[in-house]
């Protein structure tokens, strides 16, 4: 299987509009971050999208990706769902609805934000979605997935575990029970918004270092990165062995 990072940035993306800091003005492509999203390719070659934010269209075009077979949603914030309307070309070409998997709260919010996708009589050009409530564990396209429930400030959201890889974004707390699911991993992907100053809704680097030491994955990659974390190449040199910053377009075979 393969996981490709379509985006590794926070809700504002990097560069941030109007910001002149060294990260936002960097010419290094690894410092250019779309909003966080990932694409998992199954053993059978099916494509499972994790989150569908405002950069979805350009993420697909830049990565020369042409198909999405199912969508997993971590939570309902705009930087993770507002691109769902851009699935329309795939829906039209495949002549079938896109299957979206989430918890009930997120599924209800998708219906509220995209009511035209669920209308009994749709106007021409509207998308069509099937919402599926996640159970634990569950299977999509012959791929077993274990949901990881974490806290994003005061709302529970999902990360997802495939084989020995776990993808978690927008977390600020992981319970001991959920940490048990994250032990013995080959790859652990976690959000890290900045180096210092505690954030109510996201992990910062000192917390990540504690989790890296505690959970002991073979490799950890950081995503949902803001310009406050610093230049990619410089920050990468500060991290311990086997802990890395992800970047847009990075692929992991697992």
pLDDT, one tens digit per residue, over 182-209 is 999 999 999 999 999 999 999 999 999 9
Q: What is the DSSP letter of 249?
A: T
Residue 100 has a pLDDT of 98
CATH code, residues 2-248: 3.60.15.10
pLDDT per position as a tens digit, 118-174: 999 988 899 999 999 998 899 999 999 999 999 999 999 999 999 999 999 999 999
SS3 141: coil
Going through 129-209 in order, the beta strands assigned E by DSSP cover: 129-133, 138-140, 143-152, 155-162, 165-167, 187-191
User: Tell me, what's the pLDDT at 139?
Assistant: 96
Q: Which of 139, 243, 253 is nearest to 190 (CA)?
A: 243
| pLDDT tens digits along 212-253 | 999 999 999 999 999 999 999 999 999 999 999 999 999 999
Share of the chain above pLDDT 70, in %: 100
pTM beyond 0.75: the answer is yes
Q: How far is CA 235 from the centre of its chain?
A: 21
Residue pair 74/46 in contact by the 8 Å Cβ criterion: no
Q: Where are the domains of the chain?
A: 2-248
The edge-to-edge listing of strands for the beta sheet with 70-72 is 129-133, 98-102, 70-72, 47-50, 37-41, 2-7, 251-253
For the segment 21-42, the average pLDDT, to the nearest whole number, is: 98
Closest to 246 (Cα-Cα) out of 1, 9, 2: 9
């Amino acid at each position: 299987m393969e996981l490709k990072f379509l985006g590794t940035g926070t809700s504002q993306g990097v560069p941030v509009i109007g910001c002149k800091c060294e990260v936002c003005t960097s010419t290094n492509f690894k410092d250019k971050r779309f909003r966080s999203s990932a694409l998992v390719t199954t053993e059978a070659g099916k494509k499972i999208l994790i989150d569908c934010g405002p950069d979805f269209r350009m993420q697909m075009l830049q990565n020369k990706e042409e198909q999405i077979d199912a969508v997993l949603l971590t939570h309902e914030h705009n930087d993770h769902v507002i691109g769902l309307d851009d699935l329309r070309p795939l829906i039209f070409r495949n002549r079938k609805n896109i299957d979206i998997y989430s918890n009930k709260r997120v599924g209800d919010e998708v219906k509220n934000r995209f009511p035209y996708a669920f209308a009994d009589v749709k106007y021409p050009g509207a998308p069509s979605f099937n919402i599926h409530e996640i159970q634990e564990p569950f299977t999509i396209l012959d791929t077993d997935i274990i949901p990881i429930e974490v806290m994003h400030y005061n709302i529970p959201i999902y990360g997802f575990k495939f084989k020995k890889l776990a993808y978690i974004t927008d977390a600020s707390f992981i319970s001991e029970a959920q940490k048990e699911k994250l032990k013995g991993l080959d790859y652990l992907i976690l959000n890290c918004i900045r180096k210092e100053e505690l954030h109510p809704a996201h992990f910062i680097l000192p917390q990540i270092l504690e989790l890296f030491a505690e959970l002991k994955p073979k490799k950890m990659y950081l995503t949902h990165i803001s310009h406050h974390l610093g230049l990619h190449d410089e920050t990468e040199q500060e991290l311990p062995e086997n802990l890395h910053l992800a970047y847009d377009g990075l692929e992991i075979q697992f």
